[in-house]
Amino acid sequence: MLIRNLKAAFCATALAAAMLCGHAEAGSRIKDIVDVEGVRTNQLVGYGIVVGLSGTGDTVRNSPMLKQSMESMMERMGVNVRDASLNTKNAAAVMVTAELTPFGAAGSRIDVTVSAMGDAKSLLGGTLLVTPLLGADGEAYAVAQGTVQTGSVSAGGASGSSVTKGVPTAGRIASGGTIERETAFDFNSMPFLRLTLHNPDFATAKRIADTIVSRYPGTAIAQNPSIVAIKPPAGTSMMDFITMVEPMNVEVDTPAKVIIDEVNGVIVMGENVRISRVAIAQGNLTIRVDERPDISQPAPFSQGQTAAIPNSNVSIDEEKGKQLLQLGGGSSLADLVAGLNALGVTPRDMIAILQSIKASGALQADIEVM
């Protein structure tokens, strides 16, 4: 008897511990729901030339920017080609884009994307010549060069027929860019830092601040639904404080919203969607028109002609047996989905039903149609 009681007590304790652990681990990490001020990428762009194409580049006659670029480049190398007739298809004018990673150090490598500007048919196998990559301030932060890989296939015949898989006029150069200039951002010298929520919300911002303050008093305040300002405790650097704040768990509050993609017939509903008291009836009306013309044959050796006599059969089929679905006040998402599934509605019918419920004022959520 004692052993049985001990087992029961142990099971109860284990269940309580599991429930407490599950509650403690509930929510999302702060690092997954916010962006840290200053920790962001910067877009870079540049103009360059891809050479070494096998007759798939720009037509020089139709691409004046390529002609001018090639003439300028060759002049810098001591070759005058302005009076020559350039008629090659082995080069292409391209735009080069990249993202400068946060805290990217000089000498680090980044990936670059190369896209054709003219009438080039493919950039596969071409080589991008040295191209400075500029930031929004007009300064060069990186330099790109390398062999372009498109991951596509393109083939054509003499008669004009062609087969293309993928986009051969755009490709990437893995680690094709070298960072030459770092962004001036001193992380640890900042007296305070702002955390920006991915999905602004009053309750979530307040919970983040409260969670941080509960462990480190006086170090956080929610300024608005989007921003939580933090400052490290005395004797702690900003870098150390961020590493302590990011793993904290916060219960995220989300607004009641229904997302509808009418093109693909997709519906996504949040768990906070509620339905007031409402009754729903759904039925399908099918009208079918069959055309089966009768053929009239004339008698042998007569002067008549074969004729088709119209014969239309119209039928109307209305689905029977569907009952009203009644939902009580405050019904949850599970109740709504179970009820609509019981009616046997399709996703497109469900879209119409949700829009009708919203129009009646019984859907306590926002509908966003994509």
- Check whether residue 130 and residue 48 sit in a common domain: yes
- Check whether residue 217 and residue 114 sit in a common domain: no
Is position 198 within any domain?
A: yes
Q: Which of 26, 25, 29 is nearest to 198 (CA)?
A: 29
Tens digit of pLDDT for each residue in 263-277?
A: 787 888 877 888 777
**Of 85-99, 135-149, 266-280, 352-366, which one has max mean pLDDT?**
135-149
- Average pLDDT across the chain, whole number: 81
Is position 299 within any domain?
A: no
Q: Is the pLDDT of residue 286 over 80?
A: no
- Check whether residue 193 and residue 171 sit in a common domain: no
- Check whether residue 215 and residue 267 sit in a common domain: no
Tens digit of pLDDT for each residue in 119-142?
A: 999 998 899 999 999 999 999 999
Overall number of domains in the chain: 3
What domain range includes position 70?
42-150+166-179
- Check whether residue 145 and residue 92 sit in a common domain: yes
Is position 333 within any domain?
A: yes
Is position 157 within any domain?
A: no
- Check whether residue 171 and residue 268 sit in a common domain: no
- Check whether residue 194 and residue 271 sit in a common domain: no
Distances from the Cα of 149 to the Cα of 33, 50, 53, 125, 130, angstroms:
35, 12, 12, 6, 16
What distance in Å separates the CA atoms of residue 8 and residue 174, rounded to the nearest whole number? 60
- Ranges of beta strands (E only) in 148-191 are 153-156, 162-165, 170-179
- Check whether residue 172 and residue 280 sit in a common domain: no
- Check whether residue 89 and residue 110 sit in a common domain: yes
Is position 311 within any domain?
A: no
pLDDT-derived band at 184 (thresholds 50, 70, 90) equals confident
- Check whether residue 73 and residue 111 sit in a common domain: yes
Is position 18 within any domain?
A: no
- Check whether residue 217 and residue 280 sit in a common domain: no
Is position 306 within any domain?
A: no
Q: Is the pLDDT of residue 3 over 70?
A: no
Is position 82 within any domain?
A: yes
- Check whether residue 246 and residue 275 sit in a common domain: no
**284 vs 321, residue with greater confidence:** 284
